[in-house]
Each structure stands twice: as structure tokens, then as C-alpha cells.
Amino acid sequence: MNKDPYPKIIVTPPGPKAKKFIERDRHILSPSLSRTAPLVGVETEGVWIKDIDDNIFLDFGSGIAVANVGHRHPKVTEAIINQAQKCDHVNSCDYFTVPQVEFAEKLAKIMPWKGSKRFFFGNSGTEAVECAIKLARAHSRRLYFLGYTRSFHGRTMGSLAFTSTSSSARKNFGPLMPGVYLAPYPYCYRCPFKQEYPDCGLYCLEYIKEHIFKFVVTPQEVAGLIFEPLLGAGGYVSPPKEYWPMIREMCDENGILLIVDEVQTGFARTGKMWACQHWDVEPDIMCMSKAVAAGLPMGVCAAKDEVMDWEEGAHENTLGGNPIISSAASAVMDVLTTEKLWENAEKIGGYMKTRLEEASEELEIIGDVRGKGLMIGIELVKDRKSKEPAVEERNKLVSDAFKKGLLLLGAGPCSIRIAPPLILTKEQADSGLDIVIELLKKYSKQ
């Protein structure tokens, strides 16, 4: 589609064909769908997306960390076609399917804990979280949960109780699932307790022990604690190195199941197969989706064998583990492991992060650069001392970059998330960063 490392803009987007199609969309689809940019994508390949007017965009969002192996990877496409020509659907709640078991066996080999594993396949990340919630209650016979503010875990009524990227996600849907208590996420750049790391003594952790456990709910009543190793939609925030190991220890002391949401961080995105491996933390339950089947709808809830011990009929669905989707997921796993894409994520991600940090030395608008692998967050501020969020500038960056052929996604109140396909080359990385830095220099002069 594009042999050069640069986007190709033929007509300023959105072009005439895109505008017409967007009007059709507005008359028939739910108005609840928020759109980052007026992109009408019709063809994808590798790190590129072509729109309906033949503009070719460099994708720095991967469809929200979905296209980890690149758009339309030949091996994944081949697996989909081959399976579709043999068997399209056998429901796993009544029968058995070969691709589902084969994929589960491959996934079991790379899970971040020793011992036996079991899997439940659904259709999305939020379904994986719902499965984890039910499983934790069924196994522990406890009723309550802990989560974190600024986190995103889904939009169904159970997972929504843990989602708090903004109040708008929860507005008009209450009362939400009861028994969920949220602690502040360890967001050192904007500490809600006005502390400074490392002198804070990780007060955000002490808050759970000294406030929630003493005045809200006893730890012996808590079934599970769910967390994102790095915040996704909340701003691509990475906690201090000590935090998650200490949370694991706290959960062990109180018999609380540790549930990791790797929906956005998983499948080599952060430079390791799983983000929790950066902290050497082994979860009891793991939620996965997005990149698992290269954009086809799949959600996975994985658990230690002794945890996924619920009785027959306790949790089922019709479409989970569909043969075509399981075959695609199996091919994704083959590509990730044979091409060792976590290595490229670490290499190119490290290069991009360094370049952004160097740019921040002269650009005051860059308040913070953070992340791991090809999961990089850039937080924009009006003033570094006050840290006033540069919301308008962030939104303008997304819009202006789009017109230049670069797809960016926002995160949190004023951050940009950089999450391109893990096959990104240095030349393509420079191409995208040139646009970002050029625009930030322009805003800094205004």
C-alpha cells in the first residue's frame, strides 16, 4: 500500500467522499459513538490505513492497541480464510471445537504464572472483565472488590462499576454494581494526595490499608482487586516499580484475588508479552482482548487452575471461542512469538521515548513522557509548574496530525497515546514523530 515511511495525503481530510459517508453514519448509528477524527477507513496494511478518498495514514493508534502484528498480516488473513472454508461456527457451550482448544494450549505456554491454567473465551474486553468478576465471587465466596480511579475496564454494568476515566462514562447509568470501591491510581505526575515520589512512602498504597480497609470494607470481605498495569484510556500512566509487587503482597496477606486487566497492555505491546511481567507480578486472573485476534471480536478470561473451579453451567455463551476467531488468535500468537515482536516494541519504543524526552527539553508544552515499549504517553500542559492541563492543545494536536496523515489517540484529560503496530520501523517512527514535534513547536510559539 505504501512503500515510503511517510503518509500520503491526496486531498485534505476529510475529503468529499468521506464527508458524504459521515453524513450517512450520523443518520443511522448511535450518537453515543465518539469519533476521534473523521476517518473513513477502507483498506489497511501493516502500519497504514487508506481512507475512502485514497489518503494513506500512518497509524499510531493500532485501532486502540489492536493491530499489534500489523494490519492484515498475511498469516492471520490466511488462517481466517482457511478456517472459514471449513467450519464457521460450532457453539462452545454445547459442543467442542478444535481451534479453541489449540489456541488455549498455545496461550497457556506464555501465561505469566507457573502451573496449570484455564481459559474462558468471550467476545470483548468487557466480557472478559465480567467473567473475572463472577469467577472471583464464585471462587472466594466474597462480595466486594477494589479497583482504581482513572481506570477503564469496559462499559457493561459490572465492568462499568470499575471504569472511571471520566464521570461521563458513568453518568445516567447508576446505581452501578454494588460492592466496588475505588482507590486513587498511583499517578505520580498528578498525585491526588499532593505528594512527591519517592518521599511519599507510597501513600496511595497506605490509603488502601489505612482508609479503605479500616473505614469502608474489611480485607477479609474483598473477593478481588482489579488493575491495569499501565493506565490505558486514563493516560498511559506507569506506576512506581515497587507498587504492584506490594499490592500482590497485600492481596496474598488477605486472601484477595489479584486480577490484571491486560486488554490494552498485553500481547507484547510494552516490550514484554505481558505488562505485569515488568514488575514480576503473577496475577490469579487475567483479562485479555483487543490484540488477541487482530481485530476480530474476542475476549479471554484466564485463571489459575485452582481458581477457575466453578461448577458446570455457571458461566457460558454462544459465540465465544468461535472457530474462525480462534484460528485468527492462534495465528496472531504464532506471529508474535516467531517474530519476537516484543523486542521491536522495546527497541523502537525506547527510541521514540528518548526522542520525545529530548524534544521536551525545549518544548515546555510537554509536561511528561512515560510508558513502556510501544505504549507511550505524552502529557501536555500549559505550564510545567502549575501542570495546568493543555486540553485544547491536545485536541488540536490530534486534529492537525490527522490532516497531515498521522492517526493519534487521546488519553486522559490532556495526554496523547502512541501505540502503533509492533512492526513499526525506525523510519516510520521518525516520520510520525516529525509531525508530532513540528506541531508542538508551532503551538509553543503561539
Nearest residue to 271 (alpha-carbon basis) of 230, 332, 327? 230
pLDDT confidence bin for 365, thresholds 50/70/90: very high
How wide is the angle at C-alpha 6 spanned by C-alphas 263 and 333, nearest 5°? 30
Q: What is the pLDDT of residue 31?
A: 94
How confident is the model over 401-419, as pLDDT tens digits? Answer: 999 999 999 999 999 999 9
Report the phi/psi class of residue 21: left, alpha or beta, with left for phi > 0 and alpha for psi in -120 to 50. Answer: alpha
Set of cell numbers at residue 296: 476480530
CATH architecture for the domain at 75-339 = 3-Layer(aba) Sandwich (3.40)
pLDDT band at 169 (very low <50, low <70, confident <90, very high): confident
All CATH 3.90.1150.10 domain ranges of the chain, comma separated, are 16-59+341-445
pLDDT tens profile 221-239: 999 999 999 999 999 999 9
Q: What is the mean pLDDT of residues 266-293?
A: 98
Q: How many residues does the chain have?
A: 446
pLDDT on residue 16 = 98
Q: Which residues of 173-196 are buried (b: 16+ CB within 10 A; e: fewer)?
A: eeeeeebbbbbbbbbbebeeeeee
pTM of the model: 0.97
Nine-digit cell string for 442: 508551532
Q: Which residues pair with 166 in a beta bridge?
A: none
Which cell numbers in the block locate residue 324? Answer: 474462525
CA 93, 96, 97 angle in degrees (round to 5)?
115
Nine-digit cell string for 151 = 481506570
366-372 and 299-304: which strand pairing? Answer: unpaired
Q: Where in the chain is CATH 3.40.640.10?
A: 75-339
Q: Name the pLDDT band for 203 (thresholds 50, 70, 90).
A: very high
The mean pLDDT of 372-393, rounded to a whole number, is 97
- With pLDDT > 90 as the criterion, what percentage of the chain qualifies? 97
- Give bridge partners of residue 371 from the DSSP assignment: 376
Q: DSSP character for 310?
A: P
**Grid cell locating 52:** 475512502
Class of domain 16-59+341-445: alpha beta
Q: Rounded distance, CA 155 to CA 445, Å? A: 40
DSSP3 helix / strand / coil % (the chain, rounded to 5): 40, 20, 45
Mean pLDDT, the chain, integer:
97
Cα–Cα–Cα angle for 196, 202, 204, rounded to 5 degrees = 95
pLDDT confidence bin for 446, thresholds 50/70/90: confident
Question: How much is the average pLDDT of 316-326?
Answer: 96
Q: Tens digits of per-residue pLDDT, 51-109? A: 999 999 999 999 999 999 999 999 999 999 999 999 999 998 999 999 999 999 999 99
Report helix, strand or coil for 233.
Answer: coil
Q: Which pLDDT score is estimated for 210?
A: 96
